[in-house]
């Protein structure tokens, strides 16, 4: 990412060089949030399978919230005397990650990959919080507020991937494709019914049934007719 130019002014209490450093931090966070909002919409449009409606409807509120986060980051850049960049060309040029790599796929597969997306953005946000805290507590507070929402959204995603024992179905995957495949594979395995074991044939009776004993009076159980 190209460093921001030093602003002509910044917020009271910060020097212009400090303002530039915070703008640098926020610019990459703005790109990450804009990218995340687009990724969430991409998944919203391309999710299929038994969990379609649950995931489809879960992602719209997340998209709206992430867009609000991006707006807050952009406005903070402006308040610091910077120039927020929100065009697709600048985003692609300056980001440090690749495009989301899963297309039309099962809901659980997408969630397995999205979990990795959230992990990446949360880790980078936390690193930015640490740096911002050394310069500007207001920006630090803004990013912490973002983290509350982002970590909650990841929790929603992981709730679909977690087993009753607390294991994530995409655990150990380090790429979106691998995470998607692992999540889908383990979910499919849960859905597959266990094979029925053939019951052993009943043992043949060794002895024949003993004939019924004859009653002394043949008419004892007969209905009497007149």
Cα 198 from chain centroid (whole Å) = 41
So what's the pLDDT on residue 213?
Answer: 53
pLDDT digits (tens, 9 = 90+) for 78-112: 999 999 999 999 999 999 999 999 999 999 999 99
Low-confidence ranges of the chain (pLDDT < 50): 206-207, 215-226
Give residue 220's pLDDT: 37
Q: Are 44 and 111 in contact (CB under 8 A)?
A: no
pLDDT at 210: 52
What pTM did the predictor assign? 0.82
* pLDDT value of position 57: 96
The predicted pLDDT at position 6 comes to 87
Task: Supply the mean pLDDT for the chain.
Answer: 88
């Amino acid at each position: 990412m190209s460093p921001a130019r030093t602003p002509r002014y910044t917020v009271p209490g910060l020097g212009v060089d400090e303002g530039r450093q915070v703008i640098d931090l926020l610019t990459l966070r703005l790109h990450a949030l804009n990218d995340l909002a687009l990724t969430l919409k991409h998944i919203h449009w391309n999710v299929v399978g038994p969990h379609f409606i649950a995931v489809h409807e879960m992602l719209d509120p997340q998209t709206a919230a992430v867009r609000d986060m991006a707006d807050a980051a952009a406005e903070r850049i402006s308040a610091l005397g910077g120039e927020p960049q929100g065009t697709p060309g600048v985003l692609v040029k300056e980001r440090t990650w690749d495009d989301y790599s899963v297309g039309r796929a099962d809901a659980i597969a997408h969630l397995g990959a999205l979990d990795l997306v959230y992990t990446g953005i949360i880790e980078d946000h936390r690193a930015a919080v640490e740096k911002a805290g050394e310069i500007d507590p207001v920006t630090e507070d803004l990013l912490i507020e973002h983290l509350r929402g982002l970590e909650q959204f990841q929790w929603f995603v992981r709730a679909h991937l977690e087993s009753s024992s607390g294991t994530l179905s995409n655990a150990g995957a380090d790429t979106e494709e691998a995470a998607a495949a692992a999540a889908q594979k383990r979910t499919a395995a849960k859905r597959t019914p266990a094979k029925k074991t053939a019951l052993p044939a009943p043992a043949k009776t060794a002895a024949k049934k003993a004939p019924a004993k004859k009653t002394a009076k043949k008419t004892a159980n007969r209905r009497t007719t007149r």
